[in-house]
Amino acid sequence: MGRNFSALIAGLVFGLGLTISEMVNPAKVLAFLDLFGNWDPSLAFVMGGALIVTAIGYRLVWSRERPVFADRFQVPGNRDVDTRLAVGAILFGMGWGLVGLCPGPAIAALTFGGPALYVFLAAMAAGMVIFELIERLGNRPASA
């Protein structure tokens, strides 16, 4: 119960932060990414603030023996930059640069988004399904 409640609170704080900072506004994000046009640097302060909070949070968390609602920390073991990671990062960046949305802000904008947001979310869901299908096909044992 405590684990789910803390996840809910963290998600609400994250969504509220995205909304207050206007990272859910594609026009604001695209203006931030337009370095040689009508550049809006305000999201740099949002990112800088997030980095500071994250740095403090990591220091606090790693000073503990274990998480509050788990037996141990779950840290990814693979630190390699492989093709899947690079292609995923490129696709993420292209999508963010083209439409000014990424998954977190898109979900946070669900309550006030218009048709363009729903098209983005449908395309994101379709991409996830296609990825899962490709992964399953790639992991099938070869037939004799």
pLDDT reported for residue 68 = 86
Structure pTM? 0.73
pLDDT tens-digit series, residues 62-75: 999 998 888 999 88
Residue-wise pLDDT tens digits, 81-98: 999 889 989 988 998 888
pLDDT value for 15: 87
Contact 32, 39 (CB under 8 A): yes
Count the neighbouring beta carbons within 10 Å of the beta carbon of residue 126.
10
Residue 141 has what pLDDT? 66
The two tokens of residue 6 are 């803390």
Strand, coil or helix: 25 = coil
- For residue 144, what pLDDT is reported? 52
pLDDT of amino acid 142: 58
- Round to whole Å and give the CA distance between 29 and 99: 9
Segments in the chain below pLDDT 50: none
